[in-house]
Amino acid sequence: MECVFGMVGNGFSLVVADSSAVHSILVHKSNEDKIMILDSHKLMGASGEAGDRAQFTEYVQKNVALYQFRNGIPLTTAAAANFTRGELATALRKNPYMVNIILAGYDKEAGPSLYYIDYIATLHKVDKAAFGYGSYFSLAMMDRHYRKDMTVEEAVDLADKCILEIRSRLVVAPPNFVIKIVDKDGAREYAWRESVKDAPVSTS
């Protein structure tokens, strides 16, 4: 029931992910942030087994930071994508990570970019991508409405259409989503789309 999708617009990349932490038939929480900010200009949206997702995305984040610390320059988005793909490929022959990744970034020379990386270490540079059951609907909506020259507002409107379609059509649809954007000004959280709020924990 997980859903992560993203797209590239005019001068930015956008990533959207559901925020449900589930196991079997239980929902543990509905505000889990599945989009990690790797560095100032990179986002990594991930879906898959909760432990693998948290461990692997943190591992990549720390190695990207280590590279910048050692060399004084950050990895490009393409280099970060190839590093991520290499680590997944190495793990595939040992102890595979059950995690699918959408990596978005912005580079001064190359501009915005989006990379599709699945759990068997397939890497593609794409304009739009999606993982999870929600991908059946989000890919269909993006195929119909996506344009390469979209503004941020148009891309967010398309993301909202995808979210609405997922909520309407998917029988186990996640209620809440987070939207993050990366552009020349950096990677940042843009908005949450919530239909369910976690109840406050009682102290009594």
| Domains located in the chain, CATH noted | 4-194 (3.60.20.10)
What does the pLDDT look like over 101-138, one tens digit per residue? 999 999 999 999 999 999 999 999 999 999 999 999 99
DSSP line for the chain: --EEEEEE-SSEEEEEEE--EEETTEEEES----EEEEETTEEEEEEE-HHHHHHHHHHHHHHHHHHHHHHSSPPPHHHHHHHHHHHHHHHHTTS---EEEEEEEEETTTEEEEEEE-TT--EEEESEEEEETTHHHHHHHHHHH--TT--HHHHHHHHHHHHHHHHHH-TT--S-EEEEEEETTEEEEEEEE-S--PPPPP--
| pLDDT surpassing 70 at residue 199 | no
Whole-prediction pTM: 0.90
pLDDT one-digit tens code per residue, 20-37:
888 888 888 888 899 999
